[in-house]
Amino acid sequence: MDIARTLDALDGPQAKALLDQFLTAYCTPAFGTLPKREVDLLVYGILQDCGALGAAPSLYDLMTGLRISRTRARALLFDLQIRQAESHARLQEQVKTVMLNDSYFRDHNWFVLEIENPLVQAHLREICRRAHVVTDASFSASIVRLPVSGLAHVLAAMLTEDQQDAVKRGLYRTGKLQDKSLPGLLRSALGDLARKFVGKAAGELTDGAVGVIGDFLQPLFDGDEEAVVDLWSQIYPA
C-alpha cells in the first residue's frame, strides 16, 4: 500500500473530484464542525475511492499502510462496516464461512475461530448470546473460543426447522446417537468429532484439522440428510 504513489498517479479531473468530495463533506454543515472520527472515516473513504487502500483491506494492510495500531484499525473497520448496514443474511453467511474454513478444536472442549472482521465477530457473539452461550476472546481480539457444547446450541440456532429435522434424521441414521433433542445430538456428535481431531497430548492439533472440520460442518449447515449420513458415518464406523 503506497498512498503517496497512488495519489501522484491521479490525473487532474480525478484529483479535483476527490478534493471536491473532501471539502464538501468537511464544510457540511459548517467548516470544522465534523468530529475527528468523522474526518478519519471521510479520508478513509476517499483513499478507498482513489484505490490507495483496495476494496477490502485486511487489518494488517491498515496497520502498515496507515501506520496505526491493530486496535485502532479494528475500530476503524467496525465503524465503516456498521454504517454499510450488511444484511442479516449476508452476516450469517460470513459467519458460516469462517466456521467452515478458519476453525479448529482445541483440548477436546473448545471450538476456536479466527475472525478478523469485527462486524462478523460481533454478529457471531450475538448469535451466541441469544443461544445462551458464553464465548471467550481473552487470548486475542481476533480469536473466539466456544465450548463444544455451546457450539451445538449455536449450530441449532442457525438452522431452519426443516434443516433441523433433516440433521436429526441424518445423525440418528449413523446408528450411534440417540439423544431426543437436536442440541443434545449435536453436542454428542461434535464432542466425538473434537476427540477425533485433537491429539493425545492436551492442546495438540492433529495435522489437517483446520478446514477439514468444515467438511463435517457443511452438511449440518446445508440440512442435507444424506450428506450427514455419508460423512458422519466416518466418525461412527459400523
Q: What is the pLDDT, as a whole number, of residue 109?
A: 87
Q: What is the pLDDT, as a whole number, of residue 202?
A: 39
Q: What is the pLDDT, as a whole number, of residue 85?
A: 67
Burial (Cβ within 10 Å: 0-12, 13-18, ≥19) of residue 93: middle
For residue 29, say if its preceding peptide bond is cis, omega within 30 degrees of 0.
yes
CA dist 78 to 2, 3, 35, 49, 122, Å? 23, 22, 17, 18, 9
Short-list 102, 98, 105, 101, CA closest to 127: 98
Q: What is the DSSP string of the chain?
A: --HHHHHHT--HHHHHHHHHHHHHHHTSSSTT-S-HHHHHHHHHHHHHHTTSS-SS--HHHHHHHHT--HHHHHHHHHHHHHHTT--HHHHHHHHHHHHHHSEEEETTTEEEEE---HHHHHHHHHHHHHTT---B-SS-TTEEEEEHHHHHHHHHHTS-HHHHHHHHHHHHHTSS---SSHHHHHHHHHHHHHHHHB-SSTTPBPTTHHHHHHHHHHHHHHT-HHHHHHHHTTTS--
Q: What is the pLDDT, as a whole number, of residue 175?
A: 83
Q: What is the pLDDT, as a whole number, of residue 201?
A: 37
Give per-residue pLDDT as tens, 75-124. Answer: 888 888 888 767 888 899 999 999 999 888 888 889 999 898 889 999 99
The model's pTM: 0.75
Please identify every stretch of the chain with a pLDDT value under 50, giving residue numbers as ranges. Answer: 200-208, 210
Cell numbers of 86, please?
Answer: 450488511
